[in-house]
């Protein structure tokens, strides 16, 4: 399961006067990667200050985050040495640009950096077939590259889905038109690194924005819960929720503790995460998930129970029974649980006792 990483694109900064303090704020806000666009005025119309490796080196020295350089240039071979010396950790080149891309990818990797192959929204995914395998990550452009602030192109979702199916282990980065309201689209198609410029910099509170962008519901089910999981996912997508599906993906017999483990482990590590687990009765899932630290998995069969599970028990995993609960009720339970707030006060004390006893 790939975790969601947020990569603010500093192309969206009005100028570089406050670069160091902006980078510090982004780091404190929970950003994972700093994305830099290098434009040569040929591959795309504009030029960026990052064409100068000294500017990339300035970014690198001011942050502990990974520095990700996206070469929107016609001849990446001309720029790659400078970018490597400037300290970039990730470097991507476009399959539509000129040169021997597999050689450039090798050069980047030999320097101990990650190499990515980038593909434009209008380019057929077959064009980059000779490079995917060798690259460490794939950068799927979700707008026509060249300038910030454009609208996300939804048809690209299909390309992301196909690439995810072909390369389940690779990082898939997306860039273009990404903000809080659109981030679920590429995530649900299979992307895991989200580049966002104005989607972060045009908001007041970077931390709040980044945390919201990272928020995905982790969902798992065994064979008995599979059908309901698919219906729940459909509903969550309609609600613009990002989802991470840990399986199962068929009705072939499977063991519920395996899926409970995947969901519970990831909720256990991060207090902001939420999970949904579905089996025949919901009981096995809750028993299995509650073995993990900081997990409060509530098995519910009614909307009232779902509401209380959040308000009084601060449940971070909701367990549902596909054989015991109707689809509509299950969805109503999830809706209520998601929109209810933990009431804190005496309930906080009680919840704390669950872990400390
Ligand atoms: C599987 O048949 C069933 O036992 C399981 O889905 C669940 O109900 C366990 O609690």
pLDDT, tens digit (0-9, with 9 covering 90-100), for 22-68? 999 999 999 999 999 999 999 999 998 888 999 999 999 999 999 99
pLDDT, position 32: 98
Burial of 272 (0-12, 13-18, 19+ CB in 10 A): exposed
Atom number, ligand 1, closest to the C-alpha of residue 287 = 10
The two three-digit tokens of residue 31, written as one number: 């950003």
* Residues in CB range of 191: below 8 A, 6 or more apart: 140, 160, 164, 172, 173, 174
Burial readout 106-129 (b: 16 or more C-beta within 10 A, e: otherwise): ebbeeeebbbbbbbbbebebeebe
What is the predicted pLDDT for the residue at 173? Answer: 98
CA–centroid distance, 220 to ligand 1, in Å, is 13
pLDDT at 333 over 90: yes
pLDDT at 95 over 80: yes
Tell me which residues are annotated as active site.
37, 175
- Burial grade of 229 (CB within 10 A; 0-12, 13-18, 19 or more): buried
Place 270 in a pLDDT band, splitting at 50, 70 and 90: confident
Q: Is 18 helix (H, G, I), strand (E, B) or coil?
A: coil
For the segment 182-199, the average pLDDT, to the nearest whole number, is 97
Say yes or no to pLDDT of 271 above 80.
Answer: no
**CA-nearest residue, atom 7 of ligand 1:** 280
Q: Taking residues 308-333, what's their average pLDDT? A: 98
pLDDT at 103: 98
Q: What is residue 49's predicted lDDT score, i.e. its pLDDT?
A: 86
Cα distance between residue 295 and residue 268, in whole Å: 6
Same fold across 5-214 and 216-356? no
Percent of the chain residues past pLDDT 90, beyond the cut: 93
* Superfamily grouping for domain 5-214: Aldolase class I (3.20.20.70)
Alpha carbon of 225 to ligand 1 centroid (Å):
8
pLDDT band at 159 (very low <50, low <70, confident <90, very high): very high
Q: Quick check: CB of 201 below 6 Å from ligand 1?
A: no
For residue 349, the model assigns a pLDDT of 97
Asked whether the predicted pLDDT for residue 117 surpasses 90, the reply is yes
Q: Which residue has the tokens 């990002």?
A: 242
**Amino acid 268: pLDDT:** 95
Ligand 1 atom with the shortest distance to the CA of 281: 8
Q: What is the distance in A from the centroid of ligand 1 to the CA of 281?
A: 6
- Residue 272: the pLDDT is 80
Q: How far is the CA of 284 from the centre of ligand 1 (A)?
A: 6
Q: Is the CB of 281 under 6 A from ligand 1?
A: yes
Give the Cα separation of 356 and 351 in Å (integer). 9
CATH 3.40.1400.10 fits 216-356, yes or no: yes
pLDDT of residue 143: 96
224 CB within 6 A, ligand 1: yes
Backbone dihedral region of 103: left (phi > 0), alpha (psi from -120 to 50 degrees) or beta? Answer: alpha
pTM to 2 decimals? 0.92
Cα(234) to centroid(ligand 1), Å: 23
* pLDDT confidence bin for 288, thresholds 50/70/90: very high
Flag whether pLDDT at 20 surpasses 90. Answer: yes
Instruction: Give the ligand 1 atom nearest the CA of 323.
Output: 8
245 confidence band (pLDDT: 50, 70, 90): very high
Residue 42 Cα distances to 38, 70, 76, 80, 145, angstroms: 11, 15, 12, 16, 12
pLDDT at residue 148 tops 80: no
Instruction: Say what the pLDDT of residue 170 is.
Output: 97
Cβ neighbour number for residue 233 with a 10 Å cutoff: 18
Instruction: Pick the residue whose CA is nearest to atom 3 on ligand 1.
Output: 280
Domain boundaries, the chain: 5-214, 216-356
Percent of the chain's residues with pLDDT above 70: 100
Q: Is the CB of 287 under 6 A from ligand 1?
A: no
Mean pLDDT, range 1-25, rounded to an integer: 92
- Mean pLDDT to the nearest integer, 301-310: 98
């Amino acid at each position: 399961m790939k975790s969601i990483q947020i990569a603010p694109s500093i192309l969206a900064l009005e100028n570089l006067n406050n670069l160091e303090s902006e980078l510090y704020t982004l780091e404190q806000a929970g950003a994972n990667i700093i994305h830099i666009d290098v434009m040569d005025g040929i591959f795309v119309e504009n030029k960026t200050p990052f064409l100068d490796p000294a500017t990339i080196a300035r970014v690198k020295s001011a942050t502990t985050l990974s520095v990700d350089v996206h070469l929107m240039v016609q001849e990446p071979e001309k720029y790659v040495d400078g970018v490597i010396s400037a300290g970039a950790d990730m470097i991507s080149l476009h399959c539509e640009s000129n040169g021997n891309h597999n050689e450039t990818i090798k050069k980047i990797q030999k320097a101990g950096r990650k190499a990515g192959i980038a593909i434009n929204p209008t380019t057929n995914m077959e064009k980059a077939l000779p490079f995917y395998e060798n690259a460490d990550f794939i950068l799927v452009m979700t707008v026509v590259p060249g300038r910030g602030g454009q609208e996300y192109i939804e048809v690209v979702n299909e390309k992301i889905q196909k690439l995810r199916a072909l390369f389940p282990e690779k990082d898939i980065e997306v860039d273009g038109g990404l903000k809080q309201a659109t981030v679920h689209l590429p995530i649900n198609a299979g992307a895991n690194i989200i580049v966002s410029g104005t989607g972060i910099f045009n908001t007041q509170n970077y931390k709040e924005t980044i945390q919201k962008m990272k928020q995905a519901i982790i969902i798992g089910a065994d064979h008995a819960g599979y059908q309901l999981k698919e219906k729940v996912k459909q509903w969550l997508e309609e609600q613009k929720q990002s989802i991470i599906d840990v399986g199962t993906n068929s009705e072939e017999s499977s063991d519920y503790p395996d899926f409970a483990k995947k969901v519970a482990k990831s909720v256990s590590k991060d207090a902001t995460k939420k999970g949904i687990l579905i089996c025949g009765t919901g009981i096995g899932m809750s028993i299995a998930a509650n073995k993990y630290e900081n997990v409060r998995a509530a098995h519910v069969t009614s909307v009232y129970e779902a509401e209380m599970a959040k308000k009084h028990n601060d449940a971070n995993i909701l367990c549902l029974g596909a054989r015991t609960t109707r689809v509509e009720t299950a969805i109503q339970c999830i809706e209520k649980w998601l929109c209810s707030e933990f009431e804190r006060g005496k309930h906080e004390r009680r919840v704390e006792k669950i872990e400390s006893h």
